[in-house]
Structure 1
Amino acid sequence: MNTAISEANTVNHSVVSADRWVAERKTLLAREKELTRLRDQIARERRALPWVRIEKDYTFDAPEGRRALAELFEGRRQLLVQHFMLGPEWEQGCPSCSFMADHIDGMNVHLAHRDVTLRVVSRAPLAEIERFRRRMGWHFKWVSSYGSDFNHDFGVSFTPQERARGQGEVYYNYGMQPFPAEEAPGISVFYKDDAGAIFHTYSTYGRGVEVMMGTYSLLDLTPRGRDEHNPAHAMDWVRHHDRYEPAALAKTAPAAGSCCEARD
């Protein structure tokens, strides 16, 4: 990262009296409340979206054996899927998708008690998924969509023909745009009714996946923020959690790059 740029907001920063600080903080609080109300409104609009019934029989490889999409719900009515960028024969998963996944194990117990099952899905074969999951020390359930249309149908895997036809652009996040890999990040939501019918209710891509990145919400409270001042290299600082430099050296660590940089 560019340390000079990342520290620009902390060098010669304005220092005021406590009374002046409280006055300016109240102004910002009003804006924060506007954002909270807008977020609540958008959540209501999201829940009001129409649904699409799933007609295709998707199956996945799980450690317990072959599983249909309906079985991934594990008795609950709502299913959240993280589309994790780990393609066949990849050496390791995407660092940014791994950053997302680092938050799952702590959330899972709470989601389960709100009638939500969260599953991670990748196109890599199950053996490759399990090898990487063990390396990262994760406990959540992760299944393989290898050989199925699931990733393609939900807009997170692209064939060489699609990439060539679009001259480097693919249909992602509901429009044509450049994407540097054959896999992309996303989150999809499904609902299963009492009759067993499954519906696709929502998917989000690009920067929409930040909903899983609680670390970002905390960084946004700090003076230096995310240290992402160049949109072309957003998330360059993110590493697999077992590949970080010691914390004392973090601000001088070289950028490693990311396979799924933040995009609107």
Structure 2
Amino acid sequence: MNTRDQHHFTSDSDTSALPAVVDRATWQAELDKLLVREKAHTRQGDAIAAARRRLPMVEVDPTIQLIGPQGPVTLLEVFEGRKLLIVYYHMWHDGQSADAQCEGCTFFNGQVRELSYLHSRDVTYATFCEGPYEASARYRDFMGWDVPWYSAQDSADALLAGRGFGTLACYLRHGDQVFETYWTTGRGVETMAPSYVLLDVTVYGRQETWEDSPAGWPQRWGNTGEQFRTGGRPTAQWSRLAAGRSDDLTS
């Protein structure tokens, strides 16, 4: 287990750059103008979601096998009897240590925790990992995640049809038939990460170099993966090490 000092987190933004200071009435007037744009953005998002609900779908073989905690299971069984299934396809660097595992997948997949609300809408959430079940499940346990976890190592070609991991996909069960209804990747998977949504409402945003920010605003990270790492490993791992968990993926 790597026990290096976990206190690598930034305690401030190392910047003297601040927004202009105005009286409350002026501030509220500017905020009100922005809220008009935000409401339009919300309505456009509603319209896109409505179009998403009207997409056609494609049939998927329900007997495709994955590996779970009890061994082989079919895609149909992953639904756990529910009507809908959301799957995140988690990247895996086979043979690599925990600190070398995908920082982006750790960031996004690790923020989906409370599943009861999905279950109440007849939706199952599951992770399909690119790696072998034993090692990848140990990573899940080290991180403290309790979402259903399966290895898709031998079924990725059939499931992804030429796409890659780091994909979020949605499925519908109709009797014993399974259909894929939607998928997204890249920035599309940001829907999984409330941390980004919360950062976006702060004055300094995500502090990444691609953002359109005023001069002097902190922009510490490029879109290279390091925005999800602290001290050389995925940021969320430090708290697990501090709690005494082992990141050994081989035992």
TM-score tier by shorter-chain length is 0.7 to 0.9
Are residues 1:243 and 2:238 paired? yes
1:212 is displaced (CA, Å) by 0.1
Choose which of 81, 87, 95 in structure 2 pairs with 1:81: 87
Tell me how far apart the structure 2 counterparts of residues 16 and 128 of structure 1 sit (CA, whole Å): 55
1:88 is displaced (CA, Å) by 3.1
Give the secondary structure class of the aligned counterpart of 1:223: coil
Tell me how far apart the structure 2 counterparts of residues 101 and 137 of structure 1 sit (CA, whole Å): 12
1:236 is displaced (CA, Å) by 2.2
1:95 is displaced (CA, Å) by 1.1
Choose which of 12, 19, 40 in structure 2 pairs with 1:13: 19
Provide Cα deviations, 1:49-102, integer angstroms capped at 9, x if missing partner: 100011373100000221100000001010000011114323333111111122
Provide Cα deviations, 1:104-163, integer angstroms capped at 9, x if missing partner: 222x1111111110000112111111121121111111100122224542611xxxxxxx
* Structure 2 residues without counterparts, runs of 5 or longer: 1-9, 212-220, 240-251
Are residues 1:31 and 2:37 paired? yes
Tell me how far apart the structure 2 counterparts of residues 19 and 191 of structure 1 sit (CA, whole Å): 50
Q: Which moved more, 1:10-19 or 1:31-40?
A: 10-19
Q: Give 1:189's aligned residue.
A: 170
Structure having greater relative contact order (Cα 8 Å, sep ≥ 6): 2
Choose which of 129, 140, 161 in structure 2 pairs with 1:133: 140
Are residues 1:57 and 2:63 paired? yes
TM-score norm. by structure 1 comes to 0.74
* Change over 3 Å in CA distance of 1:78–1:154 after alignment to 2: farther
Are residues 1:221 and 2:201 paired? yes
Paired residue type of 1:189: C
TM-score norm. by structure 2 comes to 0.77
Are residues 1:118 and 2:133 paired? no
Are residues 1:45 and 2:51 paired? yes
Task: Report the identity percentage.
Answer: 33
CA contact (8 A) 1:78 1:115 kept: yes
Give the secondary structure class of the aligned counterpart of 2:113: helix
Give the secondary structure class of the aligned counterpart of 1:104: coil
Tell me how far apart the structure 1 counterparts of residues 228 and 159 of structure 2 sit (CA, whole Å): 24
Q: Alignment RMSD, CA only?
A: 2.1
Correspondence list, 1:64-75, <5 A: 64-75=70-81
Give the secondary structure class of the aligned counterpart of 2:198: helix
Q: Give 1:94's aligned residue.
A: 102
Paired residue type of 1:233: G
Tell me how far apart the structure 1 counterparts of residues 185 and 113 of structure 2 sit (CA, whole Å): 21
Give the secondary structure class of the aligned counterpart of 1:57: coil
* Structure 1 residues without counterparts, runs of 5 or longer: 157-183, 245-264
* Change over 3 Å in CA distance of 1:109–1:154 after alignment to 2: farther
Q: Give 2:192's aligned residue.
A: 212
Give the secondary structure class of the aligned counterpart of 2:228: coil
